[in-house]
Amino acid sequence: MDRSTVTRTAENRLASLTAWDSDWSGLRVVVTGITKTGFSVADTLAELGAKVVVVAASDDDAARRAADTLRIVGVADVILGAASSTVLPLVDGEEAELVVTSPGYKPSHALLAAAAEAGIPIWGDVELAWRVRIRAGRKTAEWITITGTNGKTTTTTMVEGMLQAAGLRAIAAGNIGTPILDAVRDPQGYDVLAVELSSFQLHWCQSLEPVSSVCLNLAEDHVDWHGSYAAYAADKAKIYSNTKIACVYNAEQIETERMVQDADVQEGCRAVGFSTGIPAISMVGVVEGTLVDRAFIAERKDSAVELAHISDIGELVPRHLVANAAAAAALVRAYGLGAEHVSAGLKAYENGDHRIQAVAKAGGVLWVNDSKATNPHAAGASLSAFNPVVWIAGGLSKGVDYDGLVKAHAQRLKAVVLIGEDTTALAGALRRHAPNVPVIDTGRAHTGKEGAAGSPLFGDSLMAQAVVAAAQVAVDGDTVLMAPAAASMDQFSSYAHRGQAFINAVRELLERRASANKES
């Protein structure tokens, strides 16, 4: 057979694989990656009877242990090492029929580029999970899908809480931490999955049919992975494809509404907006501190139903957290939940660590950890919640531009303390748009990488220096906000490691001050 015939045959077989009980036996698959996502993919495919070869750049103890386990469960081969992961291997002596990739692999990666050149389809773990979600003898969960540049995890967690408050068996999965394939393979099954999806995961999705979906917001991010902002936005827009009941969009950001207008959805699917202000018809919004619904009620033309009080979320509720709650409410109302379930879910919600986390208040100074603000859009949301601000910022910039962020918030900045191995882009934006704001560069001689994730790094460590520098500037009424607007991997093992270093440094500083005061 010629290449085109082989390709059509493979495509026809893949098109028939729409349930766990489809005929997956003998399907030749290459899986990229061996950490959480790659492992779950390979394990699933082996259980289905596919012939699987795993390739991964890592070759450490953890990777070798995972490889040993996968071989035991029936994976044909595991190839470790940087060089091997760049070449598309044969499977059982023949060309692969499918590649299932982990989100960290860029489309331009040599192995994926070779697969694309050969006409071999490429899926992500989410596409595979959708294809195997239907299984004889188990309930099939509906999916509610969430993406956005920022707020995904918060909104997904809120959705999970609301669903559980309604007595449904529901779990947050996907990019949030629980691999989507683990959720799909759960022996009991779920009623609903709240699925957080990154732009990386959406890039490889084709077949999803969520009951409701949302793109919370859109701002420049991950340009290095997607190649351009336009490509990043196009992948985010895929969240709305094939939605069944409601495409939820941000009424305060026209780009998300345009995504809905351009989406190919199922018959009867509605566009529903969310807002932090008074909602128009077919929206969820806020009136005098109360979350209200003008979308999922019969009398929406001239009335609204109260869903919850904003104070249900907690004491510190910045505007973007209100937006997340409104989006979550719209998503679950589309599924059919009552107002009481929205309220109960928000009351049960606990803001995760490193997301606008109040660490301490001493001497009238509020110390806030938002290490999760890994891009300018997220940092802007944090900055807008406080005034005046001593801002600790910097890190791995991922190729983004800081001019808009600094220009928008220059008036609330009292001082800026720079961290990160390369602060050139952020420092330049500060010079251009906040020339009168003092900028303190902690230097880059010391990094956090010498300690394990979450370990305390005091003394001359990077974060301790930044905290001391901020403390020398901050006075009663100020907020010291650590919202880096950048990724952490240049000097920390993760954003959580960076956030914990900040928490530890603040506590150490305040303890030293308290001790000094007692002695005096």
Give the integer Cα–Cα distance in Å for 181 and 328.
23
User: So what's the pLDDT on residue 128?
Assistant: 98
Q: pLDDT (tens digit, 9 = 90+) per residue, 345-398?
A: 999 997 666 778 888 889 999 999 999 888 888 899 889 889 999 999 998 877
Fold of the domain spanning 357-519:
Protein-Tyrosine Phosphatase; Chain A (3.90.190)
What's the rounded mean pLDDT across residues 6-15?
A: 77
**Max CA distance (Å), the chain:** 89
Provide the pLDDT confidence category of residue 67 given band limits of 50, 70 and 90. Answer: very high
Where exactly are the structural domains of the chain?
Answer: 3-128, 138-348, 357-519
Q: pLDDT (tens digit, 9 = 90+) per residue, 132-174?
A: 999 999 999 999 999 999 899 999 999 999 999 999 999 999 9
CATH 3.40.50.720 given to domain 3-128: yes
Instruction: Burial-class residue 435 by CB neighbours within 10 Å (0-12, 13-18, 19+).
Output: exposed
Provide the pLDDT confidence category of residue 447 given band limits of 50, 70 and 90. Answer: very low
User: So what's the pLDDT on residue 420?
Assistant: 85
Residue whose C-alpha is closest to residue 239's, from 184, 202, 194, 201? 202
CATH 3.80.30.20 given to domain 138-348: no
Q: Where are the beta strands (DSSP E) in 270-388?
A: 270-274, 283-287, 290-293, 305-309, 357-362, 365-369
User: So what's the pLDDT on residue 423?
Assistant: 87
Give the integer Cα–Cα distance in Å for 347 and 314.
8
Cα radius of gyration rounded to whole Å, the chain: 24
Q: Are 208 and 147 in contact (CB under 8 A)?
A: no
User: So what's the pLDDT on residue 356?
Assistant: 81
Which residue would you say has higher pLDDT here, 318 or 133?
A: 133
Q: Where are the beta strands (DSSP E) in 288-412?
A: 290-293, 305-309, 357-362, 365-369, 389-393
Q: pLDDT (tens digit, 9 = 90+) per residue, 68-126?
A: 999 999 999 999 998 877 889 999 999 999 999 998 899 999 999 999 999 999 999 99
Residue position matching structure tokens 């954003």: 495
User: So what's the pLDDT on residue 318?
Assistant: 83
pLDDT above 90 for 10? no
Residue 203: both structure tokens together: 């890039």
Average pLDDT over the chain reads 90
- Bridge partner residues of 32 (DSSP): 55
Instruction: Indicate the annotated binding residues.
Output: 148-154
User: So what's the pLDDT on residue 443?
Assistant: 63
Provide the pLDDT confidence category of residue 454 given band limits of 50, 70 and 90. Answer: very low
Instruction: Indicate the annotated binding residues for ATP.
Output: 148-154
Provide the pLDDT confidence category of residue 183 given band limits of 50, 70 and 90. Answer: very high
